[in-house]
Amino acid sequence: MTRLAWSLPRLGEGRSTSERLGTGLLVGAALLLCAFLILPLGVLLLGSLFDEAGELSLVRFAEFASTPGMGRAVWNTIWVAVVVTVLTVPLAFLYAYAIQRACLPLRGVWRIVGLSALLGPSLVGAISFIQWFGTQGVLKSWLGEHSVYGPIGIIISTVYASFPHALMILVVALATADARLFEAAEALSASRWRKFVTVTLPSARYGLISAALVVFSYSVSEFGIPKVIGGNFPVLAVEVYVQVVGMHNFGRGAVVALLLLFPVLLAFLVDWRIQRKQQASLTARAVPYVPRPDWRRDLPLLAYCVLVSVAMLGVLGMAAYTSLVKFWPYNLELSLTHYRYGLAEAGVLDAYLNSLKIAGLTTLVGTPFIFLVAYLVEKNRSGPAWLRPLVQGAAALPMGVPGLVLGIGYILFFNHPSNPLNGLYHTLAIMVIANVVH
């Protein structure tokens, strides 16, 4: 606070109007981020720390810990997330590697197909896998004795749904490489594998860790997939949903939400630490690496891309096919009845339009806001020095915060009768804000 007091009076002196404006905007952005991000998350934290009577206590945590089945849910959530991460990251890395570091034909096509899972909500994968491997599934025999309902289904669906997220990060991480290092390694007679381990992997290390953290957080906070394909397999995200939506137990919901937030905080800490290390090793002299054709590398990678693409399209195709079939799996005649029913059914059309409206407004409001903040952080050298990293950090935070957690934070914060922003609750605006922040 002393530093704020120190620097504020100096803002006006001898500075151009544009600089003052820049500082003002930066302060404004900081306040907005505070109101719509930090405070709700803070309330969430407090909500979990106070008991019914308003006393500071860990009662809610104790309560939570003693809830039957919670231990199982925590354990399930963690091991499923670990397995998903261990599967998704290497799969996506190899795919990104094929796109960026090999000379493949149709690179653009592989890239789009690889990202195709983003086209639908996360549920699409789960539904499609039920069609493929479920009780009536065409490929049920592939799973042998195992049922797709449960951890297996959750894992493959989450791998499918989180694959494009990891892919996006890794494609960027592998986009630039320093050709000098490859040449140095080449000149020192390093084998293909050694070059990969000593040059490729270290330069993509940051992207790999980011991707792993994103996939892990995704898996932990995803509740649609376990709800659809999880059978009786308890996981935390579904538990929050049950507590908040089903039982209106906000306090316990807050505890679980906080647990979901834990991997995110961890992720941030790690991220921040690597970023500092990374800075030292980046130099401006880097020469961009351009791969040359080499069939011994390109052919296996092409085969891999085709394989993954076929699988991805298979999942998407089955979902599309199912939506067109009359009554799967008993009447496979194609028709648009589902669409007509689905759309006409009370509320669905409204909900659909609302979703569109929210998405549109989010883009409209969010994009300029994001650009403005990014611009201010990057270009504006005025204002107190501590403000910039603060805004930067706060702006990056929601990337990792599960939407569900933010949602609960919002409910607790804006629903509070004494909050001056209470009017926003239950409106379209709050949905838009939530989306922008996210």
Beta carbon nearer to other proteins, 89 or 199: 199
Q: Are 133 and 140 in contact (CB under 8 A)?
A: yes
Pick out residues in 261-320 that bind other proteins (CB under 8 A): 280-281, 283, 285
Binding residue for other proteins, selected from 198, 392, 415, 419, defined by CB under 8 A: 198
Q: How many helices (H) and strands (E) does the chain have?
A: 20, 2
Residue type, 300: P
The string of DSSP letters for 349-380 reads HHHHHHHHHHHHHHHHHHHHHHHHHHHHHHH-
Binding residue for other proteins, selected from 71, 202, 246, 360, defined by CB under 8 A: 202
Q: Are 103 and 293 in contact (CB under 8 A)?
A: yes
Q: Are 60 and 251 in contact (CB under 8 A)?
A: yes
Beta carbon nearer to other proteins, 179 or 361: 179
Distance, in Å, from the CA atom of 77 to the CA atom of 232, rounded to the nearest integer, reads 13
Cβ 191 to other proteins shortest distance, Å: 7
For 290, the token pair is 């351009």
Residue 181 touching other proteins (CB under 8 A): yes
Binding residue for other proteins, selected from 199, 259, 376, 431, defined by CB under 8 A: 199
Binding residue for other proteins, selected from 90, 183, 341, 428, defined by CB under 8 A: 183
Cβ 437 to other proteins shortest distance, Å: 36
Residue 248 touching other proteins (CB under 8 A): no
Beta carbon nearer to other proteins, 222 or 298: 298
Stretch that binds other proteins, among 85-93, 186-194, 254-262, 415-423 (CB under 8 A): 186-194
Distance, in Å, from the CA atom of 193 to the CA atom of 196, rounded to the nearest integer, reads 5
Binding residue for other proteins, selected from 15, 20, 140, 180, defined by CB under 8 A: 180
Site mask for other proteins (CB under 8 A), range 140-179, x = bound: --------------------------------------x-
For 321, the token pair is 């096919």
Beta carbon nearer to other proteins, 116 or 200: 200
The string of DSSP letters for 260-321 reads HHHHHHHHHHHHHHHHHHHHHH--TT--B------HHHHHHHHHHHHHHHHHHHHHHHHHHH
For 232, the token pair is 């009786």
**DSSP H helices in 151-249:** 151-173, 179-187, 192-195, 201-221, 224-229, 236-241
Stretch that binds other proteins, among 123-131, 164-172, 188-196, 229-237 (CB under 8 A): 188-196
Cβ 192 to other proteins shortest distance, Å: 10
Q: List contacts with other proteins (CB under 8 A).
A: 178, 180-181, 183-191, 194, 198-199, 202, 205, 280-281, 283, 285
